[in-house]
Amino acid sequence: MILAVLVLSLKPSFHGELTIPNTPAEKAANLIKGEFAGTSEQSTVNIVFKAPDNRTLESEDVQSKITEVLNEISKDSKVASVQSPIELNNLNEDKTIGYAQVTFALEADKVSEKSKEYILDSIEITRDAGIQTEIMGGDITFSSIQFEGIYEVIGVVVAFIVLAITFGSFIAAGLPILIAVLGLGISLLGIMIGAYFIDLNSISIILAAMLGLAVGIDYSLFIITRFRQELAKGHAINNSISIAIGTSGSAVVFAGLTVIIGLLGLSVAQIPFLTLMGVSAAISILAAVLISIITLPAILGMIGHQLSPAKESRFWQKINGQNRTDEEKANRWGRLVTKHPIIISLVSIAFLAILTIPFFHMNLGLPSDGTAKSTEMTERRAYDLLTEGYGEGFNAQLVVAAKVSKVTEETPQVIGEIVKEISDLKDIKSVSPLIPGPSGEIFMIQITPEIRTG
């Protein structure tokens, strides 16, 4: 408990960046960083402003507040430069939305939490003046993807109700959930400690929580059910525990190891964030297995007498056919299927069809501030403001790096033809003027599409 309080008090941070090495995008980024050296050791933050009703960002009082905010931010010694929306000439058509650019003299991962907090505190000046102000940090994360857990809580409540009806005991229903939560807490604590030493994506802890909770309930329920069956045969509590762990416990270990191997197999793709997601989830599975075969038996030894099968609910006894022979119970489902084959087939097909509905709503690709973050986060609100002001494609800009093997007099003309061809492509809103690098061998082109990606 003390360790948990200590870890949480230190506020472990999880970033939201998802990158894949050895891709054309990374190669282009490396070319640009190498050519435009000033960008490699700097990082930028966009501060998006939206003017109050019946005013624009050019209004004198609005400009005054924006200037005050930017002057305050520039006091941070780590800030290299600050440019206002007016200086950048980036106001939208009705001049109600624009963004300032804050450049840090540090790489994104070296910007301190103190500097981030300073910006968040500074923008309260414009917010208090009625100017909507949001932050889009790019590689600098101001608010990680949070694990709200509301759906998990609903799932746990439903599981508790079903188990209570099945077992006819609140203790028997609550024990698998208690074991799962205990294992989940231990695993998440370990993952949070790891976040101090390696960069973990916020999705890693979400995946670990979901899988840890699910298998924790499943594995402990498996053992508890076998324990109750042995009690029903007349075995003593200690003997029932031994048999349950020797049989169902062995199955739990095998199942857990299988899942762990599968999750660790994500490392085969050699994508760092996928590897860390797999390792994080594997830790939660391992914790669930260990808690189920170590802690659960101890708890069963203390309260096992309260889990007697005699306490099984009358409702479930009726559903389960308490007075029927074993042969009748075994054949009941088979008789139902063979008696109504067409109806059962149609119902099964309809059920499978319903399960395929999400397939038609799948969006493939890496999550962005507009898809992975809720409107409670400033990055998401900044994303929405930029979309409102400049169109959907603004948040899906592409940067093209062109490298020539030999610079000639015709090089600019050839690159210019490439720019023209790109401009003529479908759904391209604009293409920036050609930006040559100092060496003359590398050129940078910025493309804004009409629509967003993903």
- Output DSSP code: residue 443: E
Band of the pLDDT at 8, cuts 50, 70, 90?
low
Task: Give me the pLDDT at residue 68, please.
Answer: 94
User: What integer is the mean pLDDT of 336-348?
Assistant: 90
With b for 16 or more beta-carbon neighbours within 10 A and e for fewer, the 9-20 pattern comes to eeebebbbebee
Q: Is the distance from CB of 302 to CB of 241 less than 8 angstroms?
A: no
Q: Is the distance from CB of 416 to CB of 5 less than 8 angstroms?
A: no
Is residue 398 assigned to a domain?
yes
Band of the pLDDT at 134, cuts 50, 70, 90?
very high
User: Is pLDDT of 82 > 80?
Assistant: yes
64: domain CATH number is 3.30.70.1130
Is residue 8 assigned to a domain?
no
On whether both 73 and 222 belong to a single domain, the answer is no
On whether both 137 and 198 belong to a single domain, the answer is no
The separation between CA 140 and the C-alpha centre of its own chain, rounded to angstroms, equals 16
User: What integer is the mean pLDDT of 342-364?
Assistant: 88
Task: Give me the pLDDT at residue 377, please.
Answer: 84
In this predicted model, what pLDDT tens digit does every residue of 49-74 receive, in sequence order?
999 988 999 999 999 999 999 999 99
One-letter amino acid at 450 equals E
Measured distance CA(201)–CA(208) in Å, rounded: 12
Band of the pLDDT at 215, cuts 50, 70, 90?
very high
Q: What order do you get walking across the sheet with 97-104 strand by strand?
A: 79-83, 97-104, 43-50, 132-136
Task: Give me the pLDDT at residue 145, please.
Answer: 52
On whether both 179 and 301 belong to a single domain, the answer is yes
Task: Give me the pLDDT at residue 242, please.
Answer: 93
On whether both 168 and 285 belong to a single domain, the answer is yes
With b for 16 or more beta-carbon neighbours within 10 A and e for fewer, the 77-102 pattern comes to eebbebbbbbeeebbbeebbbbbbbb
Query: In which element (H, E) is residue 288 found?
Result: helix 272-290
On whether both 243 and 260 belong to a single domain, the answer is yes
Supply the Cα-derived Rg of the chain in whole angstroms: 30
Task: Give me the pLDDT at residue 297, please.
Answer: 93
On whether both 60 and 75 belong to a single domain, the answer is yes
Measured distance CA(109)–CA(30) in Å, rounded: 17
Q: Which of 292, 321, 350 is the last residue of a domain?
A: 321
Task: Give me the pLDDT at residue 183, please.
Answer: 92
Average pLDDT, the chain: 82
- Output DSSP code: residue 265: G
Measured distance CA(178)–CA(224) in Å, rounded: 13
Contacts 24+ apart (CB under 8 A), 332-340: none
Band of the pLDDT at 398, cuts 50, 70, 90?
confident
Is residue 84 assigned to a domain?
yes
User: What integer is the mean pLDDT of 188-217?
Assistant: 84
Band of the pLDDT at 5, cuts 50, 70, 90?
low
Measured distance CA(145)–CA(197) in Å, rounded: 19
Task: Give me the pLDDT at residue 352, please.
Answer: 93
User: What integer is the mean pLDDT of 318-332?
Assistant: 57
Band of the pLDDT at 17, cuts 50, 70, 90?
low
Is residue 344 assigned to a domain?
no
User: What integer is the mean pLDDT of 101-117?
Assistant: 85
Query: In which element (H, E) is residue 49 found?
Result: strand 43-50
414: domain CATH number is 3.30.70
On whether both 215 and 75 belong to a single domain, the answer is no
Bridge partners of 79, per DSSP, are: 104
Band of the pLDDT at 294, cuts 50, 70, 90?
very high
- Between 407 and 116, the more confident residue is 116
Closest to 49 in 3D by CA, of 73, 89, 85: 85
User: What integer is the mean pLDDT of 69-87?
Assistant: 91
User: Is pLDDT of 312 > 60?
Assistant: no
User: Is pLDDT of 203 > 90?
Assistant: no
Measured distance CA(453)–CA(380) in Å, rounded: 16
User: Is pLDDT of 318 > 60?
Assistant: no
- Between 25 and 424, the more confident residue is 424
Q: Is 156 exposed, middle or buried (0-12, 13-18, 19+ CB in 10 A)?
A: middle
Is residue 329 assigned to a domain?
no
Band of the pLDDT at 332, cuts 50, 70, 90?
confident
User: What integer is the mean pLDDT of 147-165?
Assistant: 77
Measured distance CA(220)–CA(179) in Å, rounded: 7
Is residue 279 assigned to a domain?
yes
On whether both 60 and 106 belong to a single domain, the answer is yes
Is residue 379 assigned to a domain?
no
On whether both 211 and 303 belong to a single domain, the answer is yes
Is residue 71 assigned to a domain?
yes
- Output DSSP code: residue 15: B
Task: Give me the pLDDT at residue 131, please.
Answer: 93
| 3 state DSSP class of 409 | coil
One-letter amino acid at 226 equals R
Cβ atoms within 10 Å of 71's Cβ, excluding its own: 12
Which of 25-34, 145-154, 255-264 has the lowest average pLDDT?
145-154
User: Is pLDDT of 412 > 80?
Assistant: no
The tally of domains found in the chain comes to 3
Q: Is the distance from CB of 52 to CB of 96 less than 8 angstroms?
A: no
Q: Which of 276, 304, 321 is the last residue of a domain?
A: 321
Band of the pLDDT at 124, cuts 50, 70, 90?
very high
**The two structure tokens encoding residue 433:** 């003027």
Task: Give me the pLDDT at residue 1, please.
Answer: 56
On whether both 180 and 235 belong to a single domain, the answer is yes
Instruction: Kindly give, in sequence order, each residue whose CB lies less than 8 Å from that of residue 388, ignoring residues fewer than 6 positions away.
Output: 50, 97
Measured distance CA(277)–CA(440) in Å, rounded: 41
Closest to 292 in 3D by CA, of 427, 400, 198, 175: 175
Task: Give me the pLDDT at residue 453, please.
Answer: 60
Task: Give me the pLDDT at residue 400, please.
Answer: 84
Q: Which of 262, 288, 321 is the last residue of a domain?
A: 321
Q: E strands of 75-208, at which residues?
A: 79-83, 97-104, 132-136
Sign of CA dihedral 56, 60, 62, 64: positive
Closest to 168 in 3D by CA, of 268, 32, 308: 308
pTM: 0.65
159: domain CATH number is 1.20.1640.10
Which of 195-199, 203-207, 290-294, 424-428 has the lowest average pLDDT?
195-199
Which of 42-56, 178-192, 355-369, 397-411 has the lowest average pLDDT?
355-369
Domain that holds residue 411: 391-449
DSSP codes of every residue in 296-329: HHHHHHHHGGGG-GGG--HHHHHHHTTTS-HHHH
Band of the pLDDT at 354, cuts 50, 70, 90?
very high
**The two structure tokens encoding residue 452:** 């967003």
On whether both 116 and 187 belong to a single domain, the answer is no
On whether both 127 and 192 belong to a single domain, the answer is no
- Output DSSP code: residue 403: E
In this predicted model, what pLDDT tens digit does every residue of 19-32 receive, in sequence order?
677 777 778 877 87
Task: Give me the pLDDT at residue 19, please.
Answer: 67
User: Is pLDDT of 282 > 90?
Assistant: yes
